[in-house]
Structure 1
Amino acid sequence: MMKKKKNLTIEKLFSLLSNQKRLEILMAVFDNYHNASEVAEIVGIDISTAYRYLKSMKEAGILSSRYENGTEYFDFSSTDIYKLLELALEFVDRVNGKNSLNSQKLNDLINFEPLSEQEFTPDVVLDMRGEICPVPDLATQKKLQDMKDGQVLLVIVDYPLSGERIPYRAKQLGHEVITKKKDSLGNIYIYIRCKNENMYK
């Protein structure tokens, strides 16, 4: 069976993103992948409408999906879409004069540096290669909760969206993302300094 060719244009992309509910759905997917029922509850619409919006964005190539136990879950089709939304949030905040998470050296979250000689000695290594969202993301949050303030966690992933979500979420939680690097095999190395003082008390 031949795969249907996408015919996405700039006009169609921005038209899809101009719908408030579709944007809310993308924001819901920003932190984790979801099924239609979960999206409907988060956004406040009925399941059939949620599925229709999800399906239209999947057909356009904005989202992709996979099945788990017979249920279809939707996620960003690539890190490009994730970055586009992240940059849009940064732009809006900058125009509105706000200092958001994204204004904290956004390039640290987006641009990879070539992996060279190790610059930081981690206290804990969390190797999540072979796992896909949300497993690496949740495991990272749990590990950071168990670590002492000031310790450095090295997270290794090979799922591109986890490479975006983990630094973003770590900064949201108040931790310091020291650097993020990528090797020639596509493995992503994320160094995070734990900032747990008074965080979970």
Structure 2
Amino acid sequence: MANNARKGVKMSEKEIRKLDVRGEICPYPMLKTNEELDSDKDINILEVLTDHSPALSTIPPQALKRGYEVEIDEIDNSEWKITLKKDG
């Protein structure tokens, strides 16, 4: 079972939310990301941690539809951070 952690970190005036979906397989990383974005419309930055490479092609299109910019960084071998930033 995955360790799903959610926490917020204040940086300047923008809160960075973190969502850990490592250990989850599709469609759950995308669904949990959507749930997180739906839970608070004021999220400016969401960092999603995943170790499931198909999530790299499912999360970004959903985020773009919601008006988020997307940045993907490999943080470890087979582990990525998908950063969603509110456009504007």
Could you say whether these structures have the same fold, taking a TM-score greater than 0.5 normalized by the shorter chain as the test?
yes
Task: Indicate whether 1:191 and 2:83 are aligned.
Answer: yes
Aligned residue pairs total 74
More strand by share: 2
How far apart are 1:176 and its partner, in Å? 2.1
* Aligned equivalents of 1:135, 1:176: Cα separation in 2: 21
Task: Indicate whether 1:144 and 2:37 are aligned.
Answer: yes
Task: Indicate whether 1:132 and 2:25 are aligned.
Answer: yes
The runs of 5 or more residues in structure 1 that have no matched partner are 1-120, 196-201
Q: Deviations over 1:85-124 (max 9, x none)?
A: xxxxxxxxxxxxxxxxxxxxxxxxxxxxxxxxxxxx6621
1:186 maps to amino acid? S
SS of equivalent to 2:54: helix
SS of equivalent to 1:192: strand
SS of equivalent to 2:38: helix
Q: Deviations over 1:34-87 (max 9, x none)?
A: xxxxxxxxxxxxxxxxxxxxxxxxxxxxxxxxxxxxxxxxxxxxxxxxxxxxxx
Match of 1:167 in 2: 60
* Aligned equivalents of 1:176, 1:184: Cα separation in 2: 22
The 1:194/1:143 distance shift into structure 2, 3 A limit, reads farther
SS of equivalent to 1:160: coil
TM-score (norm 1): 0.34
* Aligned equivalents of 1:155, 1:147: Cα separation in 2: 15
Question: Any conservation in 2 of the 1:157–1:189 contact (CA below 8 Å)?
Answer: yes
1:169 maps to amino acid? Q
Question: Any conservation in 2 of the 1:158–1:188 contact (CA below 8 Å)?
Answer: yes
Match of 2:47 in 1: 154
Question: Any conservation in 2 of the 1:137–1:166 contact (CA below 8 Å)?
Answer: yes
* Aligned equivalents of 1:175, 1:147: Cα separation in 2: 14
- Give 1 or 2 for the bigger CA radius of gyration: 1
* Aligned equivalents of 1:148, 1:141: Cα separation in 2: 11
Percent of aligned pairs with the same amino acid: 32
TM-score (norm 2): 0.72
**Root-mean-square deviation over aligned CA pairs:** 1.9
